[in-house]
Chains A and B, each alone.
Chain A
Amino acid sequence: MNRIEFIRELDKRFQGLNDTEVNKVISFYSELIDDRIEEGMSEQEAVESLGDIDSIVKDTMEQMPLSTLIQQKVENKVKSKALRNILIICGFPLWFPLLIAFSAIIFALYIVLWAVIVSFFASVISFAAAGVFSIIFGIAFCFLKGLSIGFAIIGAGLVLSGLFLITFQPMILLSKKAVVFTGFIIKKIKGLFIVKKEDVE
């Protein structure tokens, strides 16, 4: 691919996005090509050294906010601005509830994930609390009701404390995984909106 073809391809993939943004990206890669040519590379070699277009497009788009990507997808489907505006206004009763539903589902899934984490945390903490209290009350029972009962309760307290120690570490690990997973899901959602080669005629 030569330089002009490369730039034209980038332009196609970034179609619909903010013009200033697109110009910045294109001039960045243009500059890289020029610098390499200056160093002695041929135009073909310079373009090839940039890597494949899909990676460039993907890495650049991933940094953009989700709203920009969705906007671009919409604008690519309907080219005429006037028609687009009419469709948006007339279709409002249709797409707006769908948007709400979609956002609500994502939000709900997110809440569910974190609710699970929080409830696990609650169990873990309650093991600790129950353990501590049982030991304290157990000691008190030793004096009030008798050693056997007291010891039994202290024993229960130790078991609970043990459970706390066992589940604490996995709990922390699980929360960290949940954070990473959330980021992963957001990336995947953005991926849905990134223009691929098949989308561009």
Chain B
Amino acid sequence: MRNNQLNLGKKEENLIKLIGRCGFFVDDFKSKLGVSKHVVASCLKKDLIYKENAMFFYSKIMIPYCLTNTGKSYVKDKYFISPYRFKPSQTNHDFVLSNIYLSLSEEEREEWISETSLMSLYPNEKVTDGMYRNKNGDVIGVEVITSSYSDFYIESKMSFIERYCDRSIIIDSDKY
């Protein structure tokens, strides 16, 4: 199905934007995103998303949904989102990132820039996991750190935040 022939409802759009910006969707996000299993089924049917293998997210086994190639092209063409690359080796990290995104207002979510987009915008920098502009107009850098990050790596992220962001949200995913 060609991208420009797809007619998505608002909730379907919200779903694939979440996956485009944060890498995946799991059933636990349904209520926060305001989508039902029918919306998920519809996106599966339209070949925008697919089911990944089951994984542990903070000791709970869940099945993540990711963008298909069709889905990736769609979010690039329609919403100018460079899809975030979901990493199965750091499920907790990406889970926290998604939770941060989901706690934002709808307007703030529309201001979200994914890590992949940031890498294109700032090619020689260690960019953050995400960035958005809040309702006050401040640029907020979002970074989720884990115990596997070296001090040097964390410092380079902080230095990016200092140069390009007004404020930051930094969460250590291993603390939860």
Q: Do A and B come from one complex?
A: no
Q: Measuring CB to CB, which residues of chain B are less than 8 angstroms from any residue of chain A?
A: none
